[in-house]
Homo-oligomer: A and B are copies of this chain.
Amino acid sequence: MENVAAIVYTAGGELMHENCPNALCPVLFRPMIEWVNAALDEAGVSDRCYVRRSGEEEIEKYTGSAPVFCCGEESGHPVLSAKDWVLGRKDKNFIVLCAEAPFVDAASIKAAFDHHTETNYEMTVLASGGRTAFIKELEISSFWVKGAFLLELFASSDPEDKAGAQFVSSALKILSDRQTVAGTFISGKQEINMRAKNALELVSLNAAARTAVFKKLCAGGVNLICTDGVVVEPTVKVGAGTTILPGTILRGSTEIGENCVIGPNSYIEDSKIGNGAEVNSTQIRSATLENGVKIGPFSQVRPGTVIRENCKIGDYVEIKNSDIGARTAIAHLTYIGDSDVGEGVNFGCGCCVANYDGQHKHRTKIGNHAFIGCNTNLIAPVEVGDFGYTAAGSTVTKDVPEYALAVERGTQKNIENWVKKHDAIKIK
């Protein structure tokens, strides 16, 4: 598309949330205006302006460097506020989009533009395929319009129509009076004009967005046994043969490989998961799990972590900002923070790689094939060499050379009959 520009406007109101402009209400965690922005980005429409309502300053967090016009309650259709901006672009075609109709997509924008220019319409409304194409009956959220015609509309708009509700129909009337030509582009996407009139309908928008993603996933060979509680953002990629179990939330730039089992009840955000991985009831943020990693249930991987091939991470394991070498096993009840761990390392139960002394966070290094005994504390900064061992229950503050066993432990004493003397237990 050449010589195009976009006007994104908010219809305003507090239909959904008090103190939250409608366009910022989230659909699948993302403000609706961001959906529209993403469609324009993908369609390559970079010359944009925004029109917001007064009191909706927060909108400007999502408008980048584009100009933002503010329309008061008295200003009619919000698009009128962009008049001067349009004047400088009167030879362009404009796509006018409502920031509260999140399901407009780049493909429809582009195809509608082709239709608009091929037919040489003054104005082309985007409609959903499910509807009969009677233009009067449509709820119109988006349309292409020639700049010159848009300026005429501005000139003739009814100043009494504060909410701008008649803006499009008056456009159609002008078209009809002048016998100029307008038309409709029917998108294959049913939900293209969906908008919420209240908070409950916002739930429906989310449901529609989820269903659209499920269709795409299924078409790509993803196995969904039960989609209850499954929320996958449209930005997420999932490989064929992967099973997603109920209660799983996948967000942001997450990429899941092939033949994985993800869930139940897993949460993965901005992370990369390799092929053949299993993520059971585990939360992962901004991390990488390579091929064949198995983790869970009830573990957490925090930002900056890489878990390399075929590691086996069990339950109640938290890993933060660490690099875990291939085939390492961390079975249970362990915290590893700010560490570089080698390959084939074995962590016993209850280990703690403490990285914080109250003032600073330090980094810990553990060599290949080390064996960290259960309930070991490694107090950073400390290093365990290749094949280094630590005895169970030891607090390790000094480096452990390769092949050495570090022991910090007293001698076990058994105090005979202590229990009888202390009457510590009544017979239950």
Chain A residues near B (Cβ < 8 Å): 16-20, 25-26, 28-29, 198-200, 202-203, 206-207, 210, 214-215, 218-219, 221-231, 240-241, 243, 245-247, 249, 264-265, 267, 280-281, 283, 297-298, 300, 314-316, 318, 327, 331-335, 344, 346, 348-350, 352, 354, 356-359, 369, 371, 373-375, 377, 379, 387-389, 391-398, 400-401, 403-420, 422, 424-428
Closest 5 CB pairs of A and B: A393-B395, A199-B218, A405-B418, A229-B246, A408-B412
Query: Taking the nearest CB of chain B, how far is it from the CB of A367, in angstroms?
Result: 11
The docked-state distance in angstroms from the alpha carbon of A400 to that of B103 is: 61
The docked-state distance in angstroms from the alpha carbon of A379 to that of B409 is: 13
Q: A19-B240, A358-B389 are in contact. List 11 more A-B contacts (CB 8 A).
A: A17-B240, A198-B218, A245-B249, A265-B265, A348-B354, A350-B375, A358-B424, A377-B393, A398-B414, A404-B416, A408-B410
Contact of A428 among B344, B401, B414 (CB under 8 A): B344
Contact of A412 among B26, B207, B396 (CB under 8 A): B396
Q: Which residues of B contact A393 (CB under 8 A)?
A: 377, 393-395, 408
Also in contact, A226 and B229, with CB within 8 A (given A241-B17, A333-B316): yes
Query: Taking the nearest CB of chain B, how far is it from the CB of A223, in angstroms?
Result: 7
Secondary structure of the A contact surface, majority rule: loop
In the complex, the count of this chain's copies comes to 3
Query: Taking the nearest CB of chain B, how far is it from the CB of A284, in angstroms?
Result: 11
- Closest-by-CB residue of B relative to A296 is B283
Q: Which residues of B contact A280 (CB under 8 A)?
A: 283
The docked-state distance in angstroms from the alpha carbon of A219 to that of B229 is: 22
Query: Taking the nearest CB of chain B, how far is it from the CB of A34, in angstroms?
Result: 15
- Closest-by-CB residue of B relative to A200 is B218
Query: Taking the nearest CB of chain B, how far is it from the CB of A326, in angstroms?
Result: 11
Contact of A246 among B222, B231, B314, B344 (CB under 8 A): B231
Central interface residue in A26, A210, A349, A420, by most chain B CB within 10 Å: A349
Q: Which residues of B contact A214 (CB under 8 A)?
A: 200, 203
Query: Taking the nearest CB of chain B, how far is it from the CB of A270, in angstroms?
Result: 16
Please determine whether B265 and A283 come into contact, CB atoms closer than 8 angstroms.
Answer: no
Listed by A's residue number, 19 A-B pairs whose Cβ atoms lie within 8 Å are A17-B223, A198-B219, A199-B221, A207-B226, A229-B246, A298-B316, A316-B333, A333-B333, A348-B352, A349-B352, A354-B392, A358-B371, A375-B395, A387-B425, A389-B418, A400-B414, A403-B419, A404-B414, A408-B412
